[in-house]
Structure 1
Amino acid sequence: MFGNKYGIRSVIAFSHDLVAVVLSWLLAFLFYADFNISVTPFVLLLDSMPWILPTQAVIFLWLGLYRGLWRYASLPDLKRITVAVLLSGVLSTIVFWNLGLLGVIPYSINVLAPILLLLIMGGSRLIYRAWKERRLYSLENYEGKLVLILGAGSTAVNLVKDLASSRDWHVVGMLDDDPRKLGTRLRGVRVLGVIDDLPHWVHKLNVGHVIIAMPSLSHRVHRHVLEMCSEMGIKAMIVPSYQDLISGKTTVSQIREIQLDDLLGRAPVVLDDEGLHGFLTGKTILVTGAGGSIGAELCRQIIAFEPVHLVLFELNEYALYCVQEEFQEEFPDTSMSFVIGDIKDSARLEQLFIQFSPSVVFHAAAYKHVPLMENENAWQAVLNNVMGTYVLASTAIRHKVEKFVLVSTDKAVNPVNIMGASKRLAEMVCQAMQQSIKNHEQITCFVMVRFGNVLGSAGSVIPKFRKQIASGGPITVTHPEMTRYFMSIPEAAQLVLQAGLMGGSKGGGEIFVMDMGDPVKITELASDLIRLSGLGEDDMRIIYTGLRPGEKLHEELLSANENTVPTPHTKLSIAQAPEVNAQWLVAFVTRFENIKTLGDEEARKELARWVPEYSPNGESVH
Structure 2
Amino acid sequence: MKDIIRSIASLPRRQKQIVLVLMDLCVLPLMMWLAYAIRLARPNVEVMQGLDGWYLYVGIFGILIFALLGIYSAIVRSFNEDYLLRISIGTFIQIVALYAIKKLDIAFIPMSIPLMYGFMLFSYMWWSRAVIRYATIKTFAKKQTRKRVAIYGAGLAGQQIAAALNRSDDYLPVCFIDDKKSLQGQSLSGLKIYSPKRAATKFGKFAIEEVLLAMPSVGRARKKEIIESFDSADVKIMELPGITQLVDGQVQISDIREVDIIDLLGRDPVPPKPELLEKNIKDKVVMVTGAGGSIGSELCRQIVKHQPKLLVLFEMSEFALYSIDRELQTSGIQVIPVLGSVTNQAKLERIIAEYQVQTVYHAAAYKHVPLVEANPFEGIYNTSIGTARSVDAAVNQGVETFVLISTDKAVRPTNVMGASKRMAELYCQGLASTNPKTQISIVRFGNVLGSSGSVVPLFKKQIAKGGPVTVTHPEVTRYFMTIPEAAQLVIQAGAMGTGGDVFLLDMGEPVKIVDLAKQMIRLSGFKPMDDKGLGDIEIHFTGLRPGEKLYEELLIDQENVEKTGHERILKSFEKYYEYSEIYKVFNILSKSVDNSDSHQLTDILEKYVDGFNMLPPLSHSSSGRF
Structure 2 length-normalised TM: 0.80
Q: Does 505-514 or 364-373 show the bigger shift? A: 505-514
**CA positional deviation for 1:142:** 7.0
The one-letter code of the counterpart of 2:382 is N
The one-letter code of the counterpart of 1:423 is K
- 1:291 aligned residue: 292
**CA positional deviation for 1:419:** 2.5
Query: Where in structure 2 are the equivalents of 1:287-366 lying within 5 Å?
Result: 287-305=288-306, 309-316=310-317, 320-321=318-319, 324-325=322-323, 328=326, 331=329, 335-366=334-365
- Can you give the 5+ residue segments of structure 1 that lack an aligned partner in the other structure? none
- 1:454 aligned residue: 448
- 2:381 aligned residue: 383
- 1:519 aligned residue: 510
Structure 1 length-normalised TM: 0.81
Distance (whole Å) between structure 1 residues aligned to residue 422 and residue 248 of structure 2: 37
Q: Does 1:260 align with 2:254?
A: no
- 1:602 aligned residue: 600
Decide which of 186, 190, 193 is 1:191's aligned counterpart: 193
Distance (whole Å) between structure 2 residues aligned to residue 220 and residue 618 of structure 1: 38
The question of whether the paired residues in 2 share the 8 Å contact of 1:156 and 1:213 is answered with yes
Decide which of 591, 598, 601 is 2:585's aligned counterpart: 591
- 1:87 aligned residue: 93
- 1:25 aligned residue: 32
- 1:166 aligned residue: 168
Decide which of 559, 569, 575 is 1:573's aligned counterpart: 569
**CA positional deviation for 1:345:** 0.6
The question of whether the paired residues in 1 share the 8 Å contact of 2:442 and 2:500 is answered with yes
Distance (whole Å) between structure 2 residues aligned to residue 346 and residue 354 of structure 1: 12
> Could you tell me the percent identity over the aligned residues?
34
Task: Output one character per residue of 1:18-57: Cα deviation in whole Å (capped at 9) or x when no partner.
Answer: 4454234223212211x3336x455568364476456545
Distance (whole Å) between structure 2 residues aligned to residue 306 and residue 250 of structure 1: 32
**CA positional deviation for 1:409:** 1.0
Task: Output one character per residue of 1:451-470: Cα deviation in whole Å (capped at 9) or x when no partner.
Answer: 21123433334455566667
- 1:222 aligned residue: 227
- 2:7 aligned residue: none
Instruction: Indicate the SS of the match to 2:591.
Output: coil
- 1:551 aligned residue: 548
Distance (whole Å) between structure 2 residues aligned to residue 127 and residue 591 of structure 1: 83
**CA positional deviation for 1:325:** 4.6
Distance (whole Å) between structure 1 residues aligned to residue 195 and residue 585 of structure 2: 70
- Can you give the 5+ residue segments of structure 2 that lack an aligned partner in the other structure? 1-11, 618-626
- 2:394 aligned residue: 396
- 1:114 aligned residue: 118
Query: Where in structure 2 are the equivalents of 1:382-461 lying within 5 Å?
Result: 382-437=380-435, 442=437, 444-461=438-455
The one-letter code of the counterpart of 2:583 is V
The question of whether the paired residues in 1 share the 8 Å contact of 2:479 and 2:510 is answered with yes
Decide which of 69, 72, 89 is 2:78's aligned counterpart: 72
The one-letter code of the counterpart of 1:206 is A
Distance (whole Å) between structure 1 residues aligned to residue 248 and residue 389 of structure 2: 39
- Residues 305 and 10 of structure 1: CA distance in aligned 2, closer, same or farther (over 3 Å): farther
Count how many residue pairs are aligned between Structure 1 and Structure 2.
590
The question of whether the paired residues in 2 share the 8 Å contact of 1:243 and 1:268 is answered with no
**CA positional deviation for 1:166:** 1.2
- Residues 83 and 544 of structure 1: CA distance in aligned 2, closer, same or farther (over 3 Å): closer
The question of whether the paired residues in 1 share the 8 Å contact of 2:157 and 2:251 is answered with no
Task: Output one character per residue of 1:360-389: Cα deviation in whole Å (capped at 9) or x when no partner.
Answer: 322211122334434661x44333222211
- Residues 361 and 562 of structure 1: CA distance in aligned 2, closer, same or farther (over 3 Å): farther
The one-letter code of the counterpart of 2:351 is L
The question of whether the paired residues in 2 share the 8 Å contact of 1:150 and 1:174 is answered with yes
Distance (whole Å) between structure 2 residues aligned to residue 262 and residue 429 of structure 1: 36
The one-letter code of the counterpart of 1:424 is R
- Residues 85 and 236 of structure 1: CA distance in aligned 2, closer, same or farther (over 3 Å): closer
Q: Does 1:616 align with 2:613?
A: yes
The question of whether the paired residues in 2 share the 8 Å contact of 1:244 and 1:250 is answered with no
